Amino acid sequence: MRIKYFLDTDTALMEFSEHKVAETKEINENIYVDLDGSGNLVAMTIEHARQQASLPSLFYEQIDGQTPDKPFRRTTGSRR
């Protein structure tokens, strides 16, 4: 996975694979996902990234040996 941030356009690009893009879907006016011919996620583009995501902060955590029983759920709460 690669994450690129283009400062001049305030655009974040997350590339998940190098598969050929077959379709781009608009999630909203600032977020787009690219899918391959099988419907798998290839990339995600976030325009106005500072407003849409927590940029410039980026954290990465790898969790080994733990498979969730349920799908991950996004929770909201206060940030410090």
Q: Is residue 26 part of a domain?
A: yes
Cis peptide before 68 (omega within 30 of 0): no
Q: Is residue 67 part of a domain?
A: no
pLDDT at 60: 73
pLDDT in tens, 20-59: 999 999 999 999 999 999 999 999 999 999 888 776 666 7
Q: Is residue 31 part of a domain?
A: yes
Q: Is residue 7 part of a domain?
A: yes
Q: Is residue 13 part of a domain?
A: yes
Residue 27 sits in which domain range?
2-52
Q: Which among 27, 13, 34, 16 is positioned nearest to 4, based on CA atoms?
A: 13
Q: Is residue 21 part of a domain?
A: yes
pLDDT tier at 63, thresholds 50, 70, 90: confident
Q: Is the pTM of this model over 0.85?
A: no
Q: How many folded domains does the chain comprise?
A: 1
Q: Which residues pair with 59 in a beta bridge?
A: none
Q: Is residue 57 part of a domain?
A: no
Q: Is residue 38 part of a domain?
A: yes
